[in-house]
Structure 1
Amino acid sequence: MSSATLSGRTALVTGATSGIGYETARLLAEHGATVLVHGRTAEEARTATDSLIATAGIDSAQLCAYAADFTRLEEVEQLAHRVSESHPHLDVLVNNAGTAAPERHTVTADGNEVAFQVNFLAHYLLTCLLEQALTTDPGGRVVNVSSSLHRTASISWSDPNRARSYSRLAAYAQAQMALTIFAADPRVTAVSVHPGICETALLPLYAHQGTSAAEGAAHVVRLCDPATEIVNGAYYDRDERVEPAAAATESRSIKRLNKLADLLVGHTS
């Protein structure tokens, strides 16, 4: 990818203040994109943009800081409105923000299991609200940063909060499965990607060691490049397109997930 491949394009990266999200924002900006840097708080988002300017030499004109706590869906709605007003033409949305499910069952103020909300429901709502801003120009797309752990998951349709039987690994995997299924939603052009096992805050869920966050981010950024042809709903393991878990592409699962997600976020498709 040349240094100016993404010149003139605008990308929103969620969870861009650390790990793969931060490195994704850096690489996108280095390749010429205007990057909307999302953080949980305004302070975290500003710190990330300041770091990108100071340590990576990114032009400040290419960066915009945005804040929203994904444990609060109201803030996700506010984020979508701010982005739509300031950037009505959005080329790429990278749904990257994620959290490890806590040891103990935890529910957000919105009433959802925290990992399911932060890792999936918030991204579902954000994507739906930005649907009009997401360009239909060639190369416009959503990239969901998923996980190979989606293969171990089953969605507890009757108890998505897993209140009756909670396991942090099962809760995390369920959210990643939902994010992978969501990539096959026909409303937007989207793919999902497992960026590899990387040295991030989520590493303990996978292994004791991993590759750098920058290496994982490179797999994400490749899919953001309009020169990379994609098929809606495709799943990538790093830079290789592979079949996801069977449930991730079933039309019944897609419809069922959309219905559940709309109910939980209070959104009408």
Structure 2
Amino acid sequence: MTGWTADDIPDQRGRVAVVTGANSGLGLVTATELARRGARVVLAVRNTAAGADAARRIGGAVQVRELDLASLGSVRAFAARLAAEHPAIDLLVNNAGVVLLGPRRTSADGYELQLATNLLGHFALTGLLLANLAAAGQARVVGLSSITHRSAHLDFDDLLFERDYRASAAYGRSKLATTVFGVELDRRLRAAGSPVASVLAHPGLTRTNLTPRAWEHRGRLGRLIARAGLIVTQPVERGTLPQLHAATAPGVRGGQFFGPSGLWETRGRVAEARLSREAADPAVGRRLWAAAQDLTGVRYL
């Protein structure tokens, strides 16, 4: 996979791809490249006006559908409509995410917002669309991890950070949880003999709209940190390559994890990435799966 670029994406004609958070950043680039190769792309977005603007810029066979991952009611409504519209779904890219600074915020269901959006919404969405993914024959689910997952820990006694809340730690926990979910999903799909593959990717340090937006309310210091990010991060087009590779490259197997290959996986060419010990632990995977089922009410595999 040395030197793999978006130009190496195979022909996607006849395939249906769903990309969450597709109106900006990594999601927009992912949706654009998939559409450029002929896929029928569904932009699953919270802001449908922004989604419509993105669809006009992308062109091709692109649909916009409303999805608020921080509301399990929205996830269920979106999944029901999509399942009816597309009996077979070839690709689900669980790209959307939120990073916060400041005080603890909660989702529509009362859960810590970062875990609710980054993990629970995608956990429920994947389960509700699993039959449609299986119907496609060789579908893939791509989860978006982060290098921050390696320094995080899942405290199952306070998974939702109801005590001693720290926004940065909660974000790291949400990305570790997302990573554990992708690995455990692969285990369960293989055990069930499913044709669906679960694959993970991370973008290294990439310039997206998440970090500047999170820091903008922190005054001069926040603006300085946002500007520093422009120096140490790579362009979003480069950062998107690991998830595009996971989504489309021939020979990708369930359970693989892709990221940049250089400078501690912060930037560079696509290569296989390193999971933390906790992310790879089957016991952690089983505990998180049970917790996610209880919190979402969505049970599968």
TM over 0.5: yes
Query: Residue in 1 aligned with 2:292?
Result: 261
Shift of 1:243: 2.7
Distance 2:9 2:165 in 1: 46
What CA distance in whole angstroms lies between the structure 1 residues aligned with 2:255 and 2:208?
26
SS class of match (1:183):
helix
Secondary structure of the residue aligned to 2:77 is helix
CA distance in 2 between counterparts of 1:237 and 1:217 reads 9
**Can you list the C-alpha shifts for 1:59-85, whole angstroms capped at 9, x where unaligned?**
2xx111111112211001111111111
After TM superposition, give the deviation of residue 175 of structure 1 in Å.
Answer: 0.8
The C-alpha deviation readout for 1:203-257, integer Å capped at 9, x for no partner, is 4589612222122222211211151x22322222232113300111211111111
1:206-245 correspondence to structure 2 within 5 Å: 208-209=229-230, 210-225=233-248, 227=250, 229-238=251-260, 239-245=270-276
Per the alignment, residue 23 of structure 2 pairs with 17
| CA contact 2:88–2:135 (8 Å) conserved in 1 | no
Aligned residue type for 2:240:
A
**Paired residue for 1:56?**
none
Q: CA deviation at 1:44?
A: 2.3
Aligned-partner Cα distance in 2 for 1:169–1:218: 25
Moved more, 36-45 or 26-35: 36-45
RMSD: 1.9
1:73-152 superposed matches below 5 A: 73-135=72-134, 139-152=138-151
Specify whether residues 174 and 80 from structure 1 end up closer, same or farther in structure 2 by C-alpha distance, changes over 3 A only. same
In structure 2, what is the Cα distance between the partners aligned to 1:127 and 1:120?
A: 11
Opposite residue 252 of structure 1, the aligned amino acid is A
Report the more deviating stretch, 194-203 or 250-259: 194-203
Matched residue type, 1:99 = V
CA 1:91–1:11 in 2, change beyond 3 Å: closer, same or farther? same
Q: Which has the higher Rg, Structure 1 or Structure 2?
A: 2
TM-score, normalization by structure 2: 0.82
Residue 205 of structure 2 is aligned to residue 197 of structure 1: yes
Unaligned runs of 5+ in 2: 1-6, 190-195, 215-225, 261-269
**What are the equivalent positions in structure 2 for 1:45-60 lying under 5 Å apart?**
45-53=51-59, 59=60
The residue type paired with residue 253 of structure 2 is V
Q: Tell me by how many angstroms 1:2 deviates.
A: 5.3
- Equivalent pairs, count: 261
Instruction: Quote the sequence identity (%).
Output: 30
